[in-house]
A and B are shown apart, each in its own frame.
Chain A
Amino acid sequence: GAVVSQHPSWVICKSGTSVKIECRSLDFQATTMFWYRQFPKQSLMLMATSNEGSKATYEQGVEKDKFLINHASLTLSTLTVTSAHPEDSSFYICSARDGQGAWELFFGEGSRLTVL
Chain B
Amino acid sequence: GQQLNQSPQSMFIQEGEDVSMNCTSSSIFNTWLWYKQDPGEGPVLLIALYKAGELTSNGRLTAQFGITRKDSFLNISASIPSDVGIYFCAGLNQGGKLIFGQGTELSVKP
Contact = CB atoms under 8 A, between A and B. Distances in A.
Contacts of B48: 104
Interface residues of A, number: 24
Contacts of B1: 60
Among B44, B97, B105, max chain A CB count under 10 A is at B97
Contact of A43 (B31, B41, B96, B103): B103
A103 B43 contact: no
A103 B40 contact: no
Interface of A: 4, 6, 32, 34, 41-46, 49, 60, 91, 93, 95, 97, 103-105, 107-110, 112
Given A43-B88, A109-B41, 11 more contacts: A34-B98, A46-B98, A46-B99, A49-B97, A60-B1, A91-B40, A93-B42, A103-B92, A107-B42, A107-B43, A110-B41
